[in-house]
Structure 1
């Protein structure tokens, strides 16, 4: 009697089934992360736009140097502000703290003829004390940062007028003015760059070192993600990003070297960006800042000492505000009662334009500095084309609103995609 074989029997008659195949390796498609990379694309487009509108004047060596020097104190404030915003807070007092610490430095250096290193140290300690005062009320007493720093904005402005007697104090020592406005010397002489002329060799070597350091660090970070099985960009995309970053750094360094070499304040900024980037990305303290801003209750349950972290980020903001106050006063060569007006708005705008989230938990130091540079390029570019001040404020306000709207839109888009 013949039997009708079923499909399963037919398969079985062919022999034992094949051994299970490992899951296919998922390759990352060529993609573009708007939230992470959009700020840098926007920065490039804004620079290109104003380079065209100014007939190339924006990218001239002297103008690039002016952009760096004129916005240095805002960039320093943005580094501290991004940490506070990541933790879910805000600081409205930094402009007044810049004014009062600049006034303290002026009194110590000019009226009391104190050696400038000691006066600078005392000024930084005063900034830390101001930050500790505000951090205590916020972290341990529980008053919202908005209220505490709003009160601080008024208190420290009044203290500035008291210290200065409603008049400016100057001039500052040459060393302080050099830090704010000076440039490194041409230690090894100039080298020829063909049609570009000559440039300082030391500045060029510094640029090469920065590019090599960036490439090595990014390569090691990529290799580390691969070891842990994380998804990374395809190698061609990764190399393209490194080349683009190297081209930008190389161009800026060459232009600065052609003018008067590297500004000292740029070297200070580079050290701050490197140090705070390592703090936020590699140190436990930095991870705790993100944890507090991302999910406060989860951070508490995880054992994070929230009050201590919040207290110290405001102390840090006070120190950076004092440093910015000394640099701003040194740049003007006097401490004035109106110093620091609206600096808090520029620092907050730089952080949000640079990718910080309104709710906290998101942001990068490099992004905040990029946001500050965007504001600086807009100011400088519109000044070069002769735009009135009200139009500059209009454009800056529109850029800030667009940046925050973009952050909200990307969050909603991500939430709808995962739901």
Structure 2
């Protein structure tokens, strides 16, 4: 009974995601899972995955957030779009410039937060106003469009079917899905063998098999739907690489564990010899660079740079983190959890859009989901400490 409770608690958001997906599939008469809509789920929410991966590191340090990322997305996109469209700069030079600008913004905000110890809320709130205003200055209140085709090919196109499948089915996409499942199974088996070799406690084999089967089925179903549309979106590759890197950093590296340590107990972490100021600085520097990447993705998806781009992006990223299991107090949270949170938000947005729900009511639902996730976190901690 106790094990069942632990499993239910561990996979609560996965079950919620499954139920919400089934609900919207039912009320939309299956439209939710049509290939174009599955593709839109990725294309429209790519920025959430990218920003949430960086936002998690900030939240881990003690529940801190960055309110400026939406404005940074707009500002970086405005600079890149202006240079590419109005000045005709090489796209790779523009990409480098956008990354450097993001890094400078992160260093600026990280300095005040980490070394002067101004509260992150205040620094990033100021940044939200500053960079939104600068975006309008750069764009002069106008929309810059369209983006060069070779730039769109990097962020807003599809991987061609190099295996030469049928006309309406991208065989390459399906093969990638199958390969992904095989790699996942190999990693699970290798991890279990290492635990046996080192004498670590093992998870029940039944649970491992069931979890592996569910994940593989989800991967195959997802890639099958994409294969029925246009194949693998290039933006999915960017999202996959970024979330994969950050999943490895947070779970397998010493530097990644520092963020958890600072959020768990900053004083103890400092006494153990870890430079906590540097941890804060890296968290905000990192997030601003990811905001620059999100800016690249955004102007490619919109095929333009405009003064309103990135509005409320910071709230979507924060919501994905908390819904995905990150603690409002810091020290708890994972990249897989963040991915689940981002997908859940995307499914809710897409499902309500297909149903024709008013945009204002969509915001109400998202707010209630976020509140429920945080309440769950607080109540769980309270019960654990009893």
TM-score by length of 1: 0.89
Structure 1 residues 244-289: Cα deviation after superposition (integer angstroms, max 9, x where no partner): 0000010000110111000000011111111111111111110111
Structure 1 residues 180-216: Cα deviation after superposition (integer angstroms, max 9, x where no partner): 331111111115xxxxx95322111211121122222
SS of 1:33's equivalent in the other structure is helix
Partner of 2:207: 237
2:37 pairs with 1:37: no
SS of 2:169's equivalent in the other structure is strand
Partner of 1:100: 75
**Would you say how many aligned residue pairs link Structure 1 and Structure 2?**
384
* Structure 1 position 391, deviation (Å): 1.6
Separation in structure 2 between the aligned mates of residue 59 and residue 363 of structure 1, nearest angstrom: 29
Q: Report if aligned partners of 1:290, 1:362 keep a CA contact under 8 Å in 2.
A: yes
User: Between Structure 1 and Structure 2, whose CA radius of gyration is higher?
Assistant: 1
Partner of 2:298: 328
Structure 1 residues 322-359: Cα deviation after superposition (integer angstroms, max 9, x where no partner): 11111111111111111111111111001100110000
Q: Report if aligned partners of 2:158, 2:231 keep a CA contact under 8 Å in 1.
A: yes
Separation in structure 2 between the aligned mates of residue 37 and residue 231 of structure 1, nearest angstrom: 20
Give the unaligned 5+ runs of structure 1: 1-27, 192-196
Separation in structure 1 between the aligned mates of residue 329 and residue 189 of structure 2, nearest angstrom: 32
Partner of 1:5: none
Partner of 1:340: 310
Separation in structure 1 between the aligned mates of residue 185 and residue 7 of structure 2, nearest angstrom: 20
Distance 1:339 1:36, change over 3 A: same
Q: Report if aligned partners of 1:109, 1:172 keep a CA contact under 8 Å in 2.
A: yes
Q: Aligned runs of 1:364-375 on 2, under 5 Å? A: 364-375=334-345
* Structure 1 position 34, deviation (Å): 3.9
2:156 pairs with 1:181: yes
* Structure 1 position 227, deviation (Å): 4.2
Separation in structure 1 between the aligned mates of residue 138 and residue 8 of structure 2, nearest angstrom: 47
Q: Report if aligned partners of 1:69, 1:180 keep a CA contact under 8 Å in 2.
A: no
SS of 1:166's equivalent in the other structure is coil
Distance 1:29 1:393, change over 3 A: closer
1:147 counterpart (119, 122, 136): 122
Q: Aligned runs of 1:352-367 on 2, under 5 Å? A: 352-367=322-337
Partner of 1:273: 243
2:143 pairs with 1:168: yes
* Structure 1 position 95, deviation (Å): 0.4
Partner of 2:61: 87
* Structure 1 position 126, deviation (Å): 0.5
Structure 1 residues 225-244: Cα deviation after superposition (integer angstroms, max 9, x where no partner): 44444433210111000000
Structure 1 residues 365-414: Cα deviation after superposition (integer angstroms, max 9, x where no partner): 12112111111111110111111112211111111011001111211222
